[in-house]
Amino acid sequence: MRSVGGNTAMNVRRKVSTGISPNGVGMPESEEWGEIHGWLDLLTGTSSTAQNAKLAQASHVFICDVPKEPLPDPSECVLVEGAQAYRVEYIDPVQGRGSHLEVYLSELEGDTYGG
């Protein structure tokens, strides 16, 4: 099977618990799950996401090869590229073909997952 390739490496972080900051605010804590490589693209206003509310929240799509280990549940992971973190909104296995994944993302502000 051909590789998707890509120009972007994403660090995958998985939520492990919610700690409490010194001022009493809950803060997610995470651990590194691994790294995946692929293509990051901005979704445009003409992208068809009207049929899925999770896709409608997404600002970016990351296309990558299917990793050897399944990605963590979207509610438990973020993808990080450099200083920018992205919430995983939806992982699409592309009609179950197993050739690649489309990971729909939305930008996060600040250090949200201890990365």
The 8-class DSSP code of residue 112 comes to: -
| Residue 78 burial (C-beta neighbours within 10 Å; 0-12, 13-18, 19+) | buried
Contact residues for 86 (Cβ-Cβ < 8 A; gap 6+)? 10, 60, 62, 78, 79, 80, 105, 106, 107, 108
What is the model's pLDDT at position 55? 73
10-residue stretch averages of pLDDT, the chain, 115 residues long = 84 84 74 94 68 75 90 92 91 77 88 51
Share of the chain above pLDDT 70, in %: 79
Domains of the chain with CATH codes = 8-108 (2.40.10.270)
d(CA 99, CA 54): 22
What is the torsion angle, in degrees rounded to the nearest 10, for the CA atoms of residue 100, residue 42, residue 108 and residue 29?
20
